[in-house]
């Protein structure tokens, strides 16, 4: 074998084992997956506007985490149907929810609902 190597014609090639690159790629993928997971979690939460929080306090309405989860699941179903602004009826509580933002805009109890007209909604959800 009589291969000549000319100066300036050498390539550096890879430095380090290929396995290290695989591990680095796996870490990059894990980071990308964790970011996606965080985004999914943030989308799953139900937010309450300042106005809605005030109404809940004024009207003595308290929601437990399990109840919020059930309402959030109903909002998921409304989103799947293309809803934008929904009236959510849960027990003796009515809430107007902006579905794309997953935000409760206002809330009222049974007494406040009497003779109340709900406008600017495109859907209604009854949560059992």
CA 41 to chain centre: 5
C-alpha dihedral, 60 to 61 to 63 to 69, nearest 10°: -160
How many Cα atoms sit within 13 Å of 95 on the Cβ side?
A: 32
Residue 70 has phi, psi (to 5 degrees) of -65, -40
pLDDT digits over 24-49, tens only? Answer: 667 666 655 555 545 544 555 799 99
Q: What is the pTM of this model?
A: 0.65
Q: List the domain boundaries for the chain.
A: 15-44, 46-127
- What gap in Å lies between CA 89 and CA 104, rounded to an integer? 12
pLDDT of amino acid 113 = 83
Per-residue pLDDT tens over the stretch 67-115 = 999 999 999 999 999 999 999 999 999 999 999 999 999 999 988 888 7
């Amino acid at each position: 074998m009589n291969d000549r190597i000319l100066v300036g014609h050498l390539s550096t090639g890879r430095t380090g084992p290929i396995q290290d690159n695989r591990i680095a790629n796996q870490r990059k993928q894990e980071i990308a997956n964790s970011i996606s997971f965080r985004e999914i979690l943030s989308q799953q939460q139900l937010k309450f506007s300042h106005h809605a929080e005030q109404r809940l306090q004024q009207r003595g309405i308290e929601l437990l985490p399990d109840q919020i989860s059930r309402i959030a699941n109903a909002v998921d179903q409304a989103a799947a149907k293309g809803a934008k602004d929904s009236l959510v009826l849960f027990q003796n509580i009515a809430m107007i929810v902006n579905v794309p933002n997953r935000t409760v805009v206002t809330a009222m109890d049974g007494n406040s609902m009497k003779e109340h007209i709900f406008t600017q909604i495109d859907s209604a959800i009854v949560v059992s």
